[in-house]
């Protein structure tokens, strides 16, 4: 086997070292998804809104940065058979996670935490309702297995139990049948084994 020039050998060694470090770095970042810090100024940009206007309603809502938190806010309207506003973001969760803790400051209304997965080519949404106390910081912890499967607001009885490896999106939704403004300050979301 011919000897490689010293500089070429050094370059090849450096390349392998760099490739190994990038692999370790990407694995470290994957575990960082165990917590979403919603106080970061750019986090809100990862969220997408869906309101009842997709069905003829006129509710408005979305997520924006309020200088301290990612604020899910808007105006819920019951006109034209409307009455919901939601926001979601893509996510991958480590498969060993079985609980999620949501820290927030609420407005006294009832919300849903939601996860989306795909089952046999169909999107299935899993929901868990939670109540808020106006102006009070709270942390609510939910087991993934307690989330209920729905499709377009209706229960899906034969859906599999929600597990972390199937989660593709997370979100929040308000549909408490009360017209008026809403405001949910999202602080952090933590996934726990």
What does the buried/exposed string (b/e) look like for 83-96 if buried means 16 or more CB atoms within 10 Å of the residue's CB? bbbbbbbebebeee
Instruction: Say if residue 109 is in the same domain as residue 178.
Output: yes
Confidence class of residue 113 from pLDDT cuts 50, 70 and 90? very high
Q: State the average pLDDT for the chain.
A: 86
Cβ atoms of residues 35 and 44 within 8 Å: no
Q: In what order do the strands lie in the sheet with 85-90?
A: 48-51, 85-90, 169-174, 110-119, 122-131, 148-151, 154-155
125 and 54 together in one domain: yes
Tell me the per-residue pLDDT of 46-95, one tens digit each, with 9 for 90 and over.
Answer: 999 999 998 899 999 999 999 999 999 999 999 999 999 999 999 999 99
Same-domain check for residues 71 and 115? yes
Domain range enclosing 6: 1-32
Same domain, 73 and 20: no
- Residue 117: is its pLDDT beyond 90? yes
1, 88: one domain: no
- CA Rg value for the chain: 21
Residue 85 shares a structural domain with residue 3: no
pLDDT in tens, 11-51: 334 333 333 333 333 333 334 459 999 999 999 999 999 99
Report the number of distinct structural domains present in the chain. 2
Q: Check whether residue 21 and residue 48 sit in a common domain.
A: no
Kindly report the number of other CB atoms within 10 A of residue 126's CB atom.
Answer: 25
Residues 91, 168: contact at Cβ < 8 Å? Answer: yes
């Amino acid at each position: 086997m011919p000897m490689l020039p010293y500089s070429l050998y050094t370059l090849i060694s450096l390349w392998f070292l760099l490739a190994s470090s990038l692999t370790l770095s990407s694995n470290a970042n994957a575990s960082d998804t165990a917590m979403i810090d919603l106080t970061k100024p750019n986090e809100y940009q990862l969220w997408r809104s869906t309101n009842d206007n997709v069905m003829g309603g006129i509710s408005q809502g979305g997520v924006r940065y309020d200088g301290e938190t990612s604020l899910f806010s808007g105006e819920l309207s019951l006109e034209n058979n409307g009455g919901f506003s939601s926001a979601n973001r893509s996510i991958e969760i480590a498969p060993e996670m079985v609980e999620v803790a949501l820290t927030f400051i609420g407005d006294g209304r009832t919300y849903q935490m939601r996860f989306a997965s795909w089952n046999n080519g169909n999107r299935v949404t899993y929901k868990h309702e939670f109540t808020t106390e106006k102006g009070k910081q709270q942390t609510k912890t939910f087991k993934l297995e307690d989330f209920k499967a729905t499709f377009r607001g209706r229960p899906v009885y034969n859906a599999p139990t929600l597990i972390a490896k199937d989660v593709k999106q997370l979100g929040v939704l308000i549909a408490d049948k009360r017209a008026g403004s809403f405001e949910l300050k999202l602080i952090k979301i933590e996934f726990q084994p």
